[in-house]
Every structure is written in C-alpha cells, then in structure tokens.
Structure 1
Amino acid sequence: MTFTSTATRGGSRLLLAGIVVSGFGTSAMWLAAGIWVKDLTGSDSLAALCAFALWAPTLAGPLLGTVADRTRRRPLLVAANLGLGLLLLSLPAVDSAGRLWILFAVLFAYGTCGVVTDAAEAALVPAVVGKDALGDFNGLRMTANEGMKLVAP
C-alpha cells in the first residue's frame, strides 16, 4: 500500500488497529453472550436471540447511516465507542434469567451503534488514507474485519 505522507500512514495504521480491536471485541462478545444466556437459562432459542439482538439494527442501516452523514465523524466515533464502553459496564448486573433484558438491550444498542460507526468509518477512510490507497486499504479493512470473526472464537 502506498501513502502520500507519514501522517496519512500513521492515521491509517491507527484506524486499522481500531478496526481489528473492535472486530475482535464484537465477535467475542457475541459468542460469549450466547454462551452466557445458554448457561443462565438452558435455552438454545434465547441464546440465538443474542445474535438477533446484535444484528437486527442492520435492517435500519440506511436510516441509521444518515446519523453518520449529518454528524462530524471523528467526534461521533469517539462518543459512540465511549458510550458503548460505559454501557458494557452494566453487564455484570445480569446474574439471572430475570435480568436478561439488560443483556439484550445492551446487544441491541451495541448493534445500533455498530451500524452508525461503520457508516462513519467508511466515510472517514478516504480522508485518512487518501484516494490513491483507498482500494488497498478497504481490502485490508474487510480482511481484518472478517478475520476477527475467525480469530475471536
């Protein structure tokens, strides 16, 4: 991959590192949530509902993507990730089947923020990488994203 400046190279590396860490965390959380629910309830159906709660917001992707289009992207990415980090702190409260709603709410919010941040990230990439390296970086970004789905388990 060729870059026009050292600043662009550093920004793209930082962005790619964030994508790898985020992808690993999302995949690990999705799997752990299903196992957690299965352990608490013994229900395969409720365990599968974890995946649904996390991925259902993608159905509203075009609507949620407008948030990224109408907002400054860097502050949006920082705020969304910090907010999700705080939201994840509520998960230790899920200690029984009666409190599973907290887990499902967190997963749904996580999925919703994921759709918004994916749109913001995709729009931010050309500014960080540069148009000459955009194709290479997008291929690397998708490889890293999908690779974390294999590595996390």
Structure 2
Amino acid sequence: MHDIVDTAVEAGSFKTLAAALTAANLVGTLRGAGPFTVFAPTDEAFAKLPAGTVEALLADIPKLTAILTYHVVAGAVMAADVVKMDGQSAQTVNGASLKISTTGGVKLNGTTSVVKTDISCTNGVIHVIDSVLLPA
C-alpha cells in the first residue's frame, strides 16, 4: 500500500491532479501522516473544465491551492461514513464546506458524483469524482 500521492500516480488516471499538486507544492503535505480523505478528480474531470482553465490555474498558485485543498477533508472518511452524512456538510482543509447528498448515489455540492470509493492508502483514503470541485 502507498500514500495518497503515490497511489494516485500509480493509478494513471490522475496525471493532471498530480501535476497540479506538484505545482501547488502540496505533494509533501499529502505524503504526510494524515489521515486525509481526498476527493480526486480524474484527468477526464479536469478535461471538462473550459479550455485554458487548467493552464490558468497552474499559473495562479494561490487559486490552485484553494481549489486543491477544497478536495481534501481531514481524517479518513470511508464510503460507509459518507452515506450516513446525507444532507450534511464536510469541512475541507481550505475551510469551505462540501454539501453531501446520497440521493441517486453520492454527490458533492449537488452535481459532482463519487464514482469510485474507498481506495485505501497508508495515510488516508481516495474517493474518485467525475468533476473538479470549485469553492464558492
């Protein structure tokens, strides 16, 4: 078993996320003791953003950091825990909250679907999501 960063890199479908974490200098943090819960957007999720968005974010490190830390919750929150949180919110590392719904599958902020759950890592867990979460 690997840490969150190595697990994501090894999966092969999080190249954009890995590049963004590197640009924002968050790799060391997500290799730390944790535990962390990461809602990880795939490369396909990043591709849904308007053209030029990823490049603009990679050039705006404070904004990129705010977006990336919006995908992280302190502690290891497994799918069974998330299901019990219907209608509640989870505090993210960036300070903003994610609204959780379990109607028709787990959704974050009403539109982002969790498509794969409980990828265990040495320092937490990854849940795969189908779009990039943007803080208000």
Tell me which of the two structures has the higher relative contact order, counting C-alpha pairs closer than 8 angstroms and 6 or more residues apart.
1
Question: Over alpha carbons, which structure has the higher Rg?
Answer: 1
Higher strand share: 2
